[in-house]
């Protein structure tokens, strides 16, 4: 509780006050912005958006409402998330940081009444440890049992809460499971067609696509009613306790004296397993093991293991702890590997060069649940399709990789994705990493040969019914490469906030459209690069671009950087949007193809204007476009300005 209060206090300090990065830097930034605004007869207060251009739906995050009114605070909020995770090295810390960050300044009270009144957890059969083999010493036995209790609590809590408003349940407690499965089945049926894309869309007729769109709209409406009582907060407390217990067990399991293991490893080194009311518990030895099915708990003590797991709706809580070896994790179905779907999925891998191969909803995925994947060491490879690698909707999804040069590969809604009422974050703490998202689902609306990404610090809402959430990608160090196609890299669509924060290293950002600090339709997108000589390349609606009452910001704090774009980029506001581009230091190069809507451009719409601000604060810079070194400029747009300053 103290931790929560502390984190909240930090949140208030950081977001409400302007102390995010050094006061000096902030003052310089403020002064530069004030100058730009003066050129356009505007004030700082004009850099604000409303939170009610359309009706505020029940899924709107309070944080989004606040940031819409104060879009510049997205910079402070990103700094906060970076600071909160700076020393996070456990799944529990990551989880609580995410939960508190996302619920922000308006945490809701937990309604425990239904749970306490109607439900009693079922602990049977009591966990039995094998007596004859004496594998478990008393100390670890207690921790093991503790985790079991927490997992049972988590499982029962979820089921009771999901079923809580059903009349049937209240009349007959015995039917709660039936009610629970009916309800999650119904939600699943409605939510999956909305989230998942179809590779065959490009071959469908206009009538077919229209029909599908109408059907999805109908499903979305039904989903509002169904899910309004199944808020993600309901998963919070027991998920946290489960994580805490899992990590307690992890630390005990690492001590050599607490487990009495066979002297020789077997080919398939599974030492103990037991079926429980919440799924199978398995202990694997230090040799190579092969795990299959859907166990509730796997603790593997070492060796190069193979996990080929599948989803089972009866297992709501799954914990996988692997202490070492180069492991291969393979999902045979969706909702597998650190996937919380009406439940909690935790995967902690202590070391080794691992391969994670997921399908949809995997590798730190929280859809109506919590999914956390924590990989502590090694050069790892992550593969997933849709909703993967730190993705959350009506829940929390986190993928944290603390060390090693890693490769991340996803198709859609990946690598720090926040869907409706969701929080998703990918956190990579070290080394040179590569991020790729896209290449599978064509953006048939706009192009014949480009693919949707909606990834890498991206948030997405279901227009016009449900607001998006928060999607954050943090990379602390290394020379990294980021590749997306349509929508990505600190961007968002419909009442959310997507942010990519790369703290240091010489990075390469490549995208095609709606990317690199871009926001479209009443929403927020932020890309911050702390240090290094970086290269940014995108076709358009990118690099500090806001479209339709939205604000996109690209902030690069230092380094000699190069920026390439075709159009509507580098400080461009479109249709009453706000686009802000700021490079604080370094000798930079700016290259645009179209001079008419870039580098400080704001066009008129709805009888007034959009705002486009381009600022380079220091350095000898080269321009192929509208600007020039040490000069100010304006183009023939309603409200746009460019300033090349020398603020030492």
Partner 1 sequence: MKFKRKKTVLLINLAVILQIFWGVNQGKSQDKSESDSLKQLVDSLFIISSAGFVKFADLEAPARKQLIEMKEQSVPYLIPKLSNRDARDINTLIELFKGIGDVATTQLVEALQTDDIWQIRTTCRCLGEIKDKRAGPDLIKVLNHSDYQIRNYATTALGNTKDTTAFNSIVEILKDSIEVPRKAAAYALGELNDKRGIPYLISALSDKHFSVRMVAMESLVKIGKGAIPSLIQLMDDWSDNDSTEKSNSYYLAIEALGKIKEPAVLPVLLDLLKSPDWRTKGVAVEALGNYNNPKITVSLAKLKKSETHPFVKDKIEKVLEKMGKS
The footprint of partner 1 (CB under 8 A) covers 38-39, 41-43, 45-46, 50, 53-54, 202, 206-207, 209-210, 213, 217, 444-448, 463-465, 521, 576, 606-609, 630-634, 638-639, 643
Q: Considering the complex, what minimum distance in angstroms separates the CB of residue 420 from partner 1?
A: 16
Q: Which is nearer to partner 1, 186 or 208 (CB)?
A: 208
Q: Considering the complex, what minimum distance in angstroms separates the CB of residue 186 from partner 1?
A: 23
Q: Which is nearer to partner 1, 233 or 548 (CB)?
A: 548
Phi, psi of 177 (to 5 degrees): -65, -40
Q: Considering the complex, what minimum distance in angstroms separates the CB of residue 57 from partner 1?
A: 12
Q: Considering the complex, what minimum distance in angstroms separates the CB of residue 35 from partner 1?
A: 9
Q: Which is nearer to partner 1, 526 or 576 (CB)?
A: 576
Q: Considering the complex, what minimum distance in angstroms separates the CB of residue 558 from partner 1?
A: 23
Phi, psi of 601 (to 5 degrees): -135, 130
Give the other-Cβ count within 10 Å of 297's Cβ: 26
Q: Which is nearer to partner 1, 2 or 448 (CB)?
A: 448
Q: Considering the complex, what minimum distance in angstroms separates the CB of residue 636 from partner 1?
A: 9
Q: Considering the complex, what minimum distance in angstroms separates the CB of residue 412 from partner 1?
A: 18
**Residues paired with 414 in a beta bridge:** 388
Cα–Cα distance, 364 to 241 (Å, whole number): 18
Name which of 90, 82, 94 is nearest 376 in CA terms: 90
Q: Which is nearer to partner 1, 535 or 575 (CB)?
A: 575
Q: Please name the helix (run of DSSP H) or strand (run of DSSP E) that holds residue 355, with its range, or none.
A: strand 355-357
For the chain, the maximum distance between any two Cα atoms, rounded to a whole number of angstroms, is 85
Q: Which is nearer to partner 1, 324 or 602 (CB)?
A: 602
Q: Please name the helix (run of DSSP H) or strand (run of DSSP E) that holds residue 245, with its range, or none.
A: helix 236-253
Task: Please spell the DSSP secondary structure of 489-522, one letter per residue.
Answer: SSEEESS-EEEEEE-SS--EEE-SEEESSEEESS
Contact 498, 492 (CB under 8 A): yes
Q: Which is nearer to partner 1, 356 or 494 (CB)?
A: 494
Q: Which is nearer to partner 1, 181 or 447 (CB)?
A: 447
Where do the DSSP E strands lie in 470-588? 470-475, 481-483, 486-488, 491-493, 497-502, 508-510, 513-515, 518-520, 524-529, 535-542, 545-547, 551-556, 562-569, 572-574, 578-583
Q: Considering the complex, what minimum distance in angstroms separates the CB of residue 640 from partner 1?
A: 12
Q: Which is nearer to partner 1, 43 or 89 (CB)?
A: 43
Cα–Cα distance, 162 to 150 (Å, whole number): 18
Q: Considering the complex, what minimum distance in angstroms separates the CB of residue 461 from partner 1?
A: 13
Contact 531, 504 (CB under 8 A): yes
Cα–Cα distance, 441 to 630 (Å, whole number): 44
Cα–Cα distance, 579 to 4 (Å, whole number): 34
Give the other-Cβ count within 10 Å of 274's Cβ: 15
Q: Considering the complex, what minimum distance in angstroms separates the CB of residue 495 from partner 1?
A: 14
User: Would you say the C-alpha torsion 556, 561, 565, 571 has a positive or negative sign?
Assistant: positive
Q: Which is nearer to partner 1, 30 or 217 (CB)?
A: 217
Q: Considering the complex, what minimum distance in angstroms separates the CB of residue 197 from partner 1?
A: 14
Q: Which is nearer to partner 1, 224 or 270 (CB)?
A: 224
Q: Which is nearer to partner 1, 155 or 443 (CB)?
A: 443
Assigned token pair, 635? 């183009």
Q: What share of the chain is helix, strand, coil (3-state, %, to 5)?
A: 25, 30, 40
Q: Considering the complex, what minimum distance in angstroms separates the CB of residue 323 from partner 1?
A: 51
Cα–Cα distance, 387 to 166 (Å, whole number): 29
**Residues paired with 320 in a beta bridge:** 298, 347
Side-chain half-sphere of 273: how many Cα atoms within 13 Å?
Answer: 18
What does the DSSP 8-state code read for residue 108?
P
Q: Considering the complex, what minimum distance in angstroms separates the CB of residue 77 from partner 1?
A: 24
Q: Which is nearer to partner 1, 332 or 444 (CB)?
A: 444
| Inter-helix orientation angle 62-69/73-86, to 10° | 130
Name which of 140, 133, 352 is nearest 263 in CA terms: 133
Give the other-Cβ count within 10 Å of 443's Cβ: 23
């Amino acid at each position: 509780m103290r931790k929560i209060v502390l984190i909240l206090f930090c949140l208030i300090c950081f977001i409400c006050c302007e102390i995010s990065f050094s006061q000096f830097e902030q003052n310089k930034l403020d002064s530069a912005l004030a100058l730009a605004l003066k050129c356009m007869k505007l004030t700082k207060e004009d850099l604000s958006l409303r939170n009610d251009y359309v009706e505020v739906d029940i899924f709107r995050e309070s944080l989004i409402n606040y940031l819409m009114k104060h879009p510049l605070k997205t910079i402070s909020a990103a700094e906060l998330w970076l600071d909160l995770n700076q020393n996070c090295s456990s799944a529990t810390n990551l989880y609580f940081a995410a939960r508190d960050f996302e619920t922000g300044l308006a945490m809701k009270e937990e309604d425990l009444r239904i749970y306490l009144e109607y439900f009693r957890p079922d602990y049977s059969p009591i966990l039995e440890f094998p007596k004859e083999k004496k594998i478990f010493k008393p100390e670890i036995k207690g921790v093991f049992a503790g985790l079991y209790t927490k997992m049972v609590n988590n499982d029962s809590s979820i089921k009771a809460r999901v079923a809580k408003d059903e009349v049937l349940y209240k009349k007959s407690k015995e039917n709660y499971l039936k009610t629970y499965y009916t309800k999650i089945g119904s939600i699943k049926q409605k939510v999956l067609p909305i989230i998942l894309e179809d590779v065959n869309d490009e071959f469908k007729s206009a009538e077919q696509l229209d029909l599908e769109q109408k059907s999805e709209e109908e499903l979305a409406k039904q989903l509002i009613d169904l899910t309004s009582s199944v808020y993600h907060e309901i998963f919070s407390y027991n998920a946290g306790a489960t994580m805490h217990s899992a990590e307690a067990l992890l630390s005990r399991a690492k001590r050599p004296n607490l487990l009495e293991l066979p002297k020789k490893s077997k080919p398939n080194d599974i030492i103990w397993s037991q079926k429980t009311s919440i799924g199978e518990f398995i202990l694997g030895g230090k040799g190579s093991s092969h795990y299959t099915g859907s166990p509730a708990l796997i603790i593997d003590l070492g060796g190069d293991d193979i996990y080929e797991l599948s989803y089972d709706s009866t297992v709501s809580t799954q914990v996988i702890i692997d202490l070492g070896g180069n492991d291969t994790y393979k999902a045979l179905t969706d909702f597998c590997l650190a996937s919380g779907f009406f439940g909690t999925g935790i995967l902690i891998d202590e070391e080794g060069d691992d391969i994670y191969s997921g399908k949809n909803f995997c590798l730190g995925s929280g859809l109506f649940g919590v999914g956390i994947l924590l990989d502590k060491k090694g050069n790892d490879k992550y593969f997933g399709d849709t909703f993967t690698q730190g993705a959350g909707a009506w829940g929390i999804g986190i993928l944290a990789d603390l060390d090693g040069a890693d490769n991340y590969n996803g198709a859609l809604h990946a690598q720090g994705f926040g869907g409706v009422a969701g929080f998703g974050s990918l956190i990579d703490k070290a080394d040179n990493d590569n991020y790729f998202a896209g290449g599978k689902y064509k953006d048939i609306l706009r192009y014949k040969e480009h693919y949707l990404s909606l990834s890498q610090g991206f948030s997405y809402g279901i227009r016009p019914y449900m607001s998006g959430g928060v999607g954050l990608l943090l990379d602390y160090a290394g020379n990294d490469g980021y590749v997306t196609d349509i929508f990505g890299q600190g961007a968002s669509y419909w009442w959310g906030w997507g942010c990519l924060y790369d703290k240091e290293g010489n990075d390469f950002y490549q995208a095609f459209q709606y990317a690199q600090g871009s926001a479209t339709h009443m929403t927020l997108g932020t890309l911050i690069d702390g240090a290094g000589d970086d290269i940014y390349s995108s076709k358009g609606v990118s690099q500090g671009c806001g479209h339709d009452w939205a604000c996109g910001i690209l902030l690069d704090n230092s380094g000699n950087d190069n920026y390439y774009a075709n159009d509507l980029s580098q400080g461009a506001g479109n249709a009453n949007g706000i686009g802000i581009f700021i490079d604080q230091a370094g000798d930079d190069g700016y290259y645009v193809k179209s001079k008419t809507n870039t580098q400080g451009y704001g066009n008129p719409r709805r009888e007034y204007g959009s705002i486009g601000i381009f600022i380079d604060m220091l350095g000898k810079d080269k321009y192929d476009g509208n600007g020039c070194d040490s000069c100010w400029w304006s183009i023939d747009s309603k409200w746009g300005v460019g300033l090349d300053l020398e603020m030492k």
